[in-house]
Structure 1
């Protein structure tokens, strides 16, 4: 799977660009789309506004981590993996027995966006399984991504040559698109373009970028890790439609 969003929407953490210094420039969104089509010719593309897009391929799909994409009420969601408590979540959100994991994630997001008075980490904690997801609300321009607490399903993110955010479960795609300007998306974390990266396992602690250097002091990569020694002053509250749809975009951590 692949999702690419322009800088104003994706708002990728600036630390993703650190390993690119002195290296060939990574690709643009248009070039990334062509790379994915050439590598996954049977893929399904959803072209969004301003050159943003989401794409899904079932090639080399694991039976343990199936991929799916759903569009409901202008909310797009790619889901990779499985949830062990799907039946319980269907009942909780009033969904039919035919509702897929991606539909459950969309419904959870819509509840947070429209009605919930509590932070998103509380809802994501209810997702019991091995998964990663990327969700985009086309009406509000909200991007929401997450990965299970054990990191059982691969998810990489990176920065394209034009500053766009690139997400994929295929490390080869990320390398082709972003060069070394990429990193594993941290396990047990969620990312929202209005509030940045946070841990839903340790919501009171900051997620920091840790640079890796070679013997000459050159940055060769970045990892994002929860800093258990730094406590945030409070949990961000994003429970209203205004907070989700109209939040000021700030730089990710």
Structure 2
């Protein structure tokens, strides 16, 4: 799967661009889209506004971690994996028996959007299972992404040379698109425009970026971690810049 959003929409954390050789080797959104379609010509591909896009291929799909994409009320959602408490969630959101995980996620997002201010972690923490997702509200131009507590699904994000934000479950694809300006999306976390990167497992603790350096002192990568030593007075709501703490103790892999 692949989702790409321009900088004005995605507003990725600046730390993704820190690796010194990352952005020089990155590709444009058009190049990334063309590469994906050439590799998987039978994929489901949605062109969004301003060169943004979302796409899913079922090639090499694990039966335990299926991929799906759903569009409801101009909300696009790619979901990878399964939810163990689907019956409970369907009843909670008033959905039919035929509803899929992506449909549940869209309903959860609508709660966040329509009942604001409503902490995102209060909704996402109810999801039990192995999953990763990317959602895009085409009306509000808001991206929303998350990964389960255990990091069961291979899920990465990165930044291109023009500042676009990318999500993918294919590490080779995202590394080719972003160079070294990419990282594993931290388990138990969500990213949403307006809230930035937050942990739904530890919502009262900040998330920060930790840089890695090579033997020459050059930044060669970034990981995102939860700071369990610093407790917030409230859940951060002012964007990604407010979510980078001073000390982190749990490394996201």
Q: Same fold (TM over 0.5)?
A: yes
Which residue number corresponds to residue 175 of structure 1? Answer: 175
Report how far residue 116 of structure 1 moved.
5.9
- The Cα of 1:236 is off from its aligned counterpart by 4.1
Counterpart of 2:226 in 1: which secondary structure? strand
Alignment correspondent of 1:53? 53
Kept after mapping to 2: 8 A contact 1:174/1:182: yes
* Structure 1 residue 233: Cα displacement: 2.6
Offset, 1:153:
0.6
TM-score with structure 1 length normalisation?
0.92
Q: In structure 1, what is the Cα distance between the partners aligned to 2:39 and 2:20?
A: 24
Q: What SS does structure 2 have at the residue aligned with 1:3?
A: strand
Alpha-carbon offset, residue 22 of structure 1: 7.5
Q: Distance in 2 between matches of 1:178 and 1:91?
A: 41
Superposition map of 1:1-253 within 5 A: 1-21=1-21, 24-115=24-115, 118-236=118-236, 251=241, 253=244
Corresponding residue of 2:247: none
Alpha-carbon distance in 2 for matches of 1:22, 1:30: 18
Q: Is the contact made by 1:119 and 1:236 (CA closer than 8 Å) also made in structure 2?
A: no
Task: Determine helix, strand or coil for the equivalent of 1:24.
Answer: helix
Asked if the contact 2:27/2:177 (under 8 Å) is kept, the reply is yes
Q: Once the two structures are superposed, what CA deviation does each residue of 1:37-67 show, in whole Å capped at 9, x if it has no partner? A: 1222211110001110000000110011000
**Residues 17 and 23 of structure 2 are in contact (CA less than 8 Å); yes or no, is this contact kept in structure 1?**
no
**Any idea what the Cα deviations from partners look like across 1:127-153, whole Å, max 9, x if unmatched?**
000000000000011111000000001
**d(CA) in 1 for partners of 2:82 and 2:44?**
21
Stretches of structure 2 lacking an aligned partner (at least 5 in a row): 245-253
TM-score, length of structure 2 as denominator length: 0.92
Q: Is the 8 A contact 2:78 2:134 kept in 1?
A: yes
CA distance in 2 between counterparts of 1:202 and 1:222 reads 21
Q: 1: distance between equivalents of 2:166 and 2:118?
A: 29
1:210 to 1:22, Cα distance in 2 relative to 1, 3 A: closer
- How many residues are treated as equivalent by the alignment? 243
Distance 1:33 1:72, change over 3 A: same
- Structure 1 ranges of 4+ moved more than 3 A: 20-25, 248-253
Unaligned runs of 5+ in 1: 238-247
Per-residue deviation, residues 1-31 of structure 1 (Å, max 9, x unmatched): 0000000001111111111448733101001
